Amino acid sequence: MKIAYFDCFSGVSGDMFVGSLLDAGLSTEGIEEIIAGLKIDGFTISSAKESRNHIFGTRFSVVLNNDVHQPSRHLKDIKGILRSSDLPAQIIERSISVFERLAAAEAAIHHMDLEEVHFHEVGAVDSIIDVVASVTGMHLLGIEKLFASRIPVGSGMIESAHGIIPVPSPATVALLKGVPIYESGQDVEMVTPTGAALITSLAASFGPMPPMTVERVGYGVGARTLSDRPNLLRIMIGSDAEKGSMDTVVLLESNLDDMSPELLGYLMDRLFEAGALDVSFSAIHMKKNRPGIRVQVIGRPEDKDRLVGMMFRESTTLGIRISYSQREILERNKVTVNSPWGRMTLTQVTDNEKESVLMPEYEECRRIAREHNLPLRDVYAWAATKSQVPET
């Protein structure tokens, strides 16, 4: 599988995103051909080699023609431009999903319906080009999965269509929910709303670089000169070094010494309903010689707020430890086989050596045992001895 890793040591913006892809080998002609299919006028695109701290990369720019008026747009206007274009369907829908993510963030901030969101800077033609060119570049380079580092954010104030607003902007903060970020120490905007929408829409996880064999490296050049780092976005493209899937999860932990076991069972049920991937309890010895329970919850980063809220609501905890961790998951999918009791669903797991095995599913075995009045262990034992090759 071809994968890529964005090293966002200097933040991310739409033009840096595209510039890094161009620097990594994306054809300018390929981008121009796709963009021509948008059927909008009043701009030209350019790319040039520039250096930051003696590191050369590609600066991507969209230059607007002063004699052509470019209006701000609503989400429906951008969808109309994309769906009436000559772009491939895959690029159209993925680009729309980026703008829908932006619209959802803006709608929450301004307390309005999604389709009523009135884009300003983000709805401008240069942002449309940045999004379409980024999605197109990922497609043309054959990148199947994207990973990214933690994201540095700036501080201070900037001028916007709504007046003076804080950095990071409210839209950027909303888009980065569930993503590990940190203070850069720079009194500038390190992450633009377009950059935040792209990286959070296209990246599968955020954290350390996954095991990979690097084949290409590109640097997207930003517009700023920063005091403590080069204003570059680095992309590394290659193949995954191991079979499996890497993603980022949020880990929530809390120690409890004053909660009934009956309530703990209910807490687990509610956490799973809220989207938890796993919930576990372990016995611990706490201060004042009290026996206690450690609650550990694993979830997707985007579900963090909901899971935290559920823990505060349904447990006696006064504080929750929050951390982010990467996990590697073996490839798995469902297959159906013939059993003595009819069709049965098993899980096919493929390990790092590309060997596949079939594993019983508890709920499926339980269903068959109850329907046929059989001991669960007998059904489970039959499923555990199935061949490695699924039946059709």
Q: Which residue has the tokens 């709920």?
A: 363
Q: SS3 string of 266-321?
A: HHHHHHHHCCCCEEEEEEEEEHHHEEEEEEEEEECHHHHHHHHHHHHHHCCCCCCE
The length of the chain in residues reads 392
> How far is the C-alpha of 238 from the C-alpha of 217, rounded, in Å?
9
Q: Where are the domains of the chain?
A: 2-243, 246-328, 331-384
> How far is the C-alpha of 183 from the C-alpha of 168, rounded, in Å?
10
E strands of the chain, at which residues?
2-7, 43-52, 55-64, 145-148, 151-153, 157-160, 163-166, 181-183, 203-206, 212-221, 232-240, 245-256, 278-286, 290-299, 321-329, 331-339, 342-350, 356-359
Amino acid at 193: P
Whether 117 and 74 have beta carbons less than 8 Å apart is answered as: yes
At the topology level, CATH places domain 246-328 in Alpha-Beta Plaits (3.30.70)
pTM, entire model: 0.66
CATH of domain 331-384: 3.10.20.300
Q: Half-sphere exposure (CA, 13 Å, Cβ side) for 271?
A: 28
Q: SS3 string of 326-341?
A: EEEECEEEEEEEEECC
Mean pLDDT per 10-residue interval, the chain, length 392 residues: 94 96 93 87 89 96 75 82 90 92 83 69 74 94 94 88 84 92 92 94 90 93 91 94 70 94 93 94 92 95 90 95 85 84 87 76 90 92 70 44
Q: What was the pLDDT predicted at 184?
A: 93
Q: What was the pLDDT predicted at 350?
A: 78
Residue 143 has a CB neighbour count (10 Å cut-off) of 18
